[in-house]
Amino acid sequence: MTVLLILASQSPARRAVLAAAGVIPVIHVSEVDEPAVLCDAASERGTSVEELSAEQRVSILARAKAKAVYESWKRVADASASSSGDLVVGYPLEAETESFESAETAESSESASNALASDSQSDVTHNVDTAQTRDFSGVTVPTKTFDIHDFAHLNESSNNCNSVLIVGCDSMFLLDGECYGKPHTPEIAFERIKNMSGKTGQLWTGHCLIDARTGKFLCKTSHASVTFAQMSDAEIRAYIETGEPLEVAGSFTLEGFGGAFIEGIQGDPHGVLGISLPILRSMVAELGYAWPDLWNKNTVEETCKKSDPTSTEVPKENVHQPGDGWVQCNCGRRHWGHNGAAGVLLARRDAETGRVTHVVMQHRALWSAEGGTWGIPGGAISDGESAIEGALRESFEEANITSEDIDVVGAYREDHGNWCYTTVFAFEKTGHRVEPCAHDDESMEIKWVPIDDVPKLKLLTAMRTDWPSFRARLDSLASIR
């Protein structure tokens, strides 16, 4: 059995602890409002936040983080399960040789210049040899049509997982009866670290593990005593200038700059790093799984090495979690996503006529492939996800497209054999409004664009090639709904 672990945290330390133990997690950030969660929990108990113990606080927050990610995961899974329509699969590499060679010639002479054409869009950056996305303009692509739920390959990644577990964690440092979370500012960090100097406190870490398939969950906590060396004011200021203590519980780390100032630990050292492996292992077992079923590090790293023949090691700057990384594609280019990639083409319709009026478009960051062009939000499909699930998750993470507010009505999959890109067609639900916005640094802008204005944008090469057929399909789907 293969079990995928989702970590409801962007903590590098927690990810590093898991990776060292053979588990490369998928990262889903919970975006929980921690003070509000604690206030609500205290109110429910008829007490104040200050009267909650450190153990209670970390347990409450760990559960809130895991639950938030679980609910997000479930919304995506439910939206995927309720999708309708056809999946059209195109096989461009199976096109007739003459047509394909013609397209290659066109790409080398015309499409490269077209991609760089306008002086008014000089912010667009391209590396035609390595960064330009696929271009099959002029190619008659053979296709097959499937029911969107019957086509098995759409509903599993190349590293399909039997089960999904979600773990949320939170840590706090208890010293002289006071709980220390993240200081956030240099001034608070200085005051806290000066007070901690030469003393011993307790680092508490809460864990909540949820079985995504059943909704069953467990919560446990770990703690360890941490003794600090005497630190001079100059040492404290120098440590704060590294930036390390500002966004970590207790204003210190064991594995970083702060490790030199820690004289002793009694208890679970992994808990001090943010996640206790022994406790997590026991929780995994209580939910009915075997710890070795989570081991995937060798698989992920070997896949990365094989996919990029020019690399002798895992490209750490590219591979952030399972599914991320470059694939040397059968089409002759490198594409992103070991399990392929997917995105959402979301349309808005006129309330009276039902005709498509707008679509959501992404103005791509300049550092990305064909930076400065416009396309749709999307990205690599994670291990254990279907293409639809990956598209829905990515579109939320990048563009705030909320799964509960849209209907999936069809898909187009461009199949290159060892890599595929799936475009998921969706409509905004009647009575719902999606408010797209740039959620991360992959976009300069996300906005609704009038459908007639899309061809006027500087489009990503693949989108420019596909847009006429995508427009026709959106209009067709709107007419029958």
Long-range Cβ contacts of 9-14 (<8 Å, 24+ apart): 9/65, 9/168, 9/169, 9/274, 11/169, 11/274, 13/248, 13/253, 13/255, 13/273, 13/274, 14/169, 14/273, 14/274, 14/275
Check if the beta carbon of residue 167 is closer than 8 Å to that of residue 175. no
In the structure, how many helices (H) and strands (E) does the chain have?
A: 12, 18
Residue 324, Cα to own-chain centre: how many angstroms? 10
* CB contact set of 334 (below 8 Å; sequence gap of 6+): 130, 308, 326, 327, 328
CB 464 within 8 A of CB 379: no
C-alpha 281/C-alpha 268 separation (Å) is 13
Please, which residues have CB within 8 angstroms of residue 366's CB and are 6 or more apart in sequence?
A: 123, 125, 372, 444
Q: Let me know if 78 is a catalytic residue.
A: no
Query: In this structure, what token pair is assigned to residue 170?
Result: 């939170």
Q: What is the spatial distance between Cα 234 and Cα 239, in angstroms, rounded to a whole number?
A: 9
At a CB cut-off of 8 Å and minimum separation 6, what does 399 contact? Answer: 360, 362, 377, 436, 437, 438, 439, 443, 446
Helical pair 34-44 and 54-81, crossing angle rounded to 10 deg: 110
Length of the chain: 481
**Contact between 447 and 361 (Cβ < 8 Å):** yes
Q: Give the active site residue among 40, 86, 123, 170.
A: 170
Phi-psi region of 290 (alpha: psi -120 to 50; beta: other; left: phi over 0): beta
The DSSP 8-state label assigned to residue 383 in this structure reads T
Query: Token digits for 333?
Result: 């280019």
Q: In the chain, what's the furthest Cα-to-Cα distance?
A: 78
Q: Which two tokens stand for residue 24?
A: 């490369």
Q: 201 has which bridge partners?
A: 226
Residues designated catalytic:
170
